[in-house]
């Protein structure tokens, strides 16, 4: 009877966490999707859009390592609530300033920098807290739920955000985003969470020592080390395909409309949503993750091979660069590629959470976050340079061969280490 009551409490806590993340992620998505349009409208400079995008990610990456240390030292729930409230207040200040007609570019960029720093503090705390809210056997399902809701937020953002901006302007989006953070904080306050503190080393040297200890723990753990390296390579090689390669190929070599490009982006997001839900349904109760991880890697290799072949001139000549048939094949391939990424992402998250002691949990996810998010801009930069002197289809074909080699090597070595 006591065990059933405990499990029910954990489920309520998980629902509160998911509800808070869903609300704040949707609010952020509403605002962020229209920010490039808003910046172009008020400034007209592509450089400013680039600076804003840089400030939306870089401060998060810079604060990640220290956020992991704080997440392991301090109460993770308190960190989440405090950062959500602070983010909400900052964005509501922007909303009020915009409503009064006194918005400035400097204030907007400064506000985004602060919110990005707060997000860097929030993320390792919430990921470190999740394993304490569910049983170990339910971690895959819990992570799939988190991924599904975040993807759904990303899907709702472009649809609702652009409509609100076109009809009501940017101020309402600032207000909605600010309120969403405060509602998220309210949901998190209700979570029943007990913090297990660790012995703290004092001063700056103590923080550095804690960070080094977390890094050493990863490097000396064969399984976690392999997962981190594989995560870095997958994100660096795959994610820029959606943000760099696909827009260039679509604009320069295909004859479809911008509306069809929007449909393609929605299909990619739907693939991620479907994959995150499916992996939870099929493997939500599985403690072993080799099966979904293996399926994800095989799908990744297969879809990348098909995608690379679709980019070759002979495919465009055979299938037509403006036909519904070619568009359907391309969309289906990208849909399944997104599914494959979720079949890799969700089990790895669960594996890391199961294999990491609570006292290292936030530091672990701060380093994983730094690896995954830091690898994306590095990969984008690499693709940008390579495509300047090598055709897109040849670049992606070489990338596909690299991914096949890395995935096969990872599955072989990881299976041995995991069974050992």
> Do 254 and 318 touch, CB atoms closer than 8 A?
no
**What is the reported pLDDT for 240?**
82
pLDDT digits (tens, 9 = 90+) for 126-181: 777 777 777 766 777 777 887 787 777 777 777 787 788 888 888 998 998 899 89
pLDDT range class, residue 7, cuts 50, 70, 90: very low
> Do 52 and 39 touch, CB atoms closer than 8 A?
yes
Question: What average pLDDT does the chain have?
Answer: 80
pLDDT range class, residue 8, cuts 50, 70, 90: very low
Mean pLDDT within 337-350: 87
pTM for the full model? 0.73
Spell out the domains of the chain, with CATH numbers in brackets: 2-189 (1.20.1250.20), 215-419 (1.20.1250.20)
Mean pLDDT within 62-88: 84
> Do 223 and 355 touch, CB atoms closer than 8 A?
yes
What is each CA distance from 127 to 209, 336, 371, in whole angstroms?
A: 22, 26, 15
Q: What is the dihedral of CA 64, 65, 66, 71, to 10 degrees?
A: 80
pLDDT range class, residue 50, cuts 50, 70, 90: low
* Highest mean pLDDT pick, 211-220, 270-279, 286-295, 381-390: 270-279
Helices (H), 245-323: 246-253, 258-283, 290-310, 313-319
Q: Which two tokens stand for residue 161?
A: 């955000």
Helices (H), 190-221: 203-220
pLDDT reading at 188 higher than 80: yes
* Of 96-110, 139-153, 293-307, 328-342, the least confident: 139-153
pLDDT reading at 420 higher than 60: no
d(CA 321, CA 141): 40
What percentage of the chain carries pLDDT values higher than 90? 21
pLDDT range class, residue 250, cuts 50, 70, 90: confident
Task: Give the residue, 79 or 360, on which the prediction is more confident.
Answer: 79
Query: Measuring CA to CA, which residue among 177, 252, 221, 243 is closest to residue 25?
Result: 177
Q: Which two tokens stand for residue 199?
A: 């012995």
pLDDT reading at 258 higher than 90: no
Handedness of CA 76, 77, 80, 81 (dihedral sign): negative
**What is the reported pLDDT for 246?**
83
Mean pLDDT within 32-60: 73
d(CA 240, CA 384): 9
Packing angle, helices 246-253 and 258-283, rounded to 10: 150
* Of 103-107, 229-233, 332-336, the least confident: 229-233
Mean pLDDT within 341-355: 82
pLDDT reading at 100 higher than 60: yes
115 Cβ contact list (under 8 Å, min separation 6): 87, 90, 91
d(CA 167, CA 237): 38
Burial 220-241 (b: 16+ CB within 10 A, else e): ebeebebbbebbbbbbbbbbbb
**What is the reported pLDDT for 199?**
52
d(CA 13, CA 269): 27
pLDDT reading at 405 higher than 90: yes
**Backbone torsions φ then ψ of 285, nearest 5 degrees:** -100, 5
Mean pLDDT within 59-76: 79
Residue for token pair 């720093």:
117
Task: Give the residue, 128 or 95, on which the prediction is more confident.
Answer: 95
Please, how many CA atoms are within 13 Å of residue 140, restricted to the half-sphere of its CB? 25
**What is the reported pLDDT for 1?**
38
**What is the reported pLDDT for 6?**
42
Helix (H), strand (E), coil (C) string for 103-144: CCHHHHHHHHHHHHHHHHHHHHHHHHHHHHCCCHHHHHHHHH
What is each CA distance from 274 to 152, 341, 412, in whole angstroms?
A: 10, 11, 27
pLDDT digits (tens, 9 = 90+) for 280-322: 888 766 556 678 888 999 999 999 999 999 999 999 999 988 8
The three-class DSSP label of residue 44 is coil
């Amino acid at each position: 009877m006591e065990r059933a009551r405990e499990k029910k409490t954990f489920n309520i806590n998980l629902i509160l966490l998911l509800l808070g993340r869903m609300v704040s992620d949707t609010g952020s998505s509403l605002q962020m999707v229209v920010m490039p349009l808003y910046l172009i409208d008020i400034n007209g400079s592509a450089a400013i859009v680039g600076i804003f995008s840089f400030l939306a990610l870089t401060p998060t990456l810079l604060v990640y390592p220290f956020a992991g240390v704080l997440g392991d030292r301090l109460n993770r729930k308190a960190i989440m609530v405090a950062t959500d409230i602070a983010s909400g207040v900052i964005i509501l200040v922007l909303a009020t300033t915009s409503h009064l007609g006194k918005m400035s570019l400097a204030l907007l960029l400064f506000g985004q920098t602060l919110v990005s720093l707060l997000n860097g503090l929030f993320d390792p705390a919430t990921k470190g807290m999740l394993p304490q809210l569910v049983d170990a056997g339910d971690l895959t399902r819990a992570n799939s739920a988190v991924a599904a809701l975040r993807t759904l937020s990303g899907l709702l953002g472009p649809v609702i955000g652009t409509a609100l901006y076109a009809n009501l302007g940017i101020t309402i989006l600032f207000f909605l985003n600010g309120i969403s953070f405060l509602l998220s904080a309210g949901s998190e306050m209700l979570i029943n969470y007990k913090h297990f503190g660790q012995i703290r080393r004092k001063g700056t040297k103590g923080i550095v020592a804690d960070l080094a200890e977390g890094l050493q723990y990863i490097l000396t753990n064969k399984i976690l080390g392999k997962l981190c390296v594989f995560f870095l390579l997958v994100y660096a090689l795959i994610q820029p395909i959606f943000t760099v390669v696909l827009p260039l190929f679509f604009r320069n070599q295909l004859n479809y409309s911008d509306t069809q490009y929007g449909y393609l982006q929605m299909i990619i997001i739907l693939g991620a949503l479907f994959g995150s839900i499916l992996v939870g349904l099929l493997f939500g109760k599985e403690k072993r993750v080799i099966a979904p991880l293996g399926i994800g890697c095989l799908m990744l290799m297969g879809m990348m091979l098909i995608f690379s072949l679709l980019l070759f001139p002979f495919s465009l000549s055979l299938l037509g660069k403006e036909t519904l048939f070619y568009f359907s094949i391309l969309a289906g391939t990208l849909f399944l590629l997104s599914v494959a990424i979720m079949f890799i992402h969700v089990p790895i998250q669960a594996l890391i959470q199961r294999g990491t002691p609570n006292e290292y949990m936030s530091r672990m996810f701060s380093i994983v976050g730094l690896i995954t998010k830091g690898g994306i801009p590095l990969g984008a930069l690499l693709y940008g340079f390579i495509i300047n002197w090598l055709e897109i289809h040849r670049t992606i074909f070489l990338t596909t061969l690299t991914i096949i080699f890395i995935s096969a090597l990872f599955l072989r070595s990881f299976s041995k280490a995991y069974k050992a």
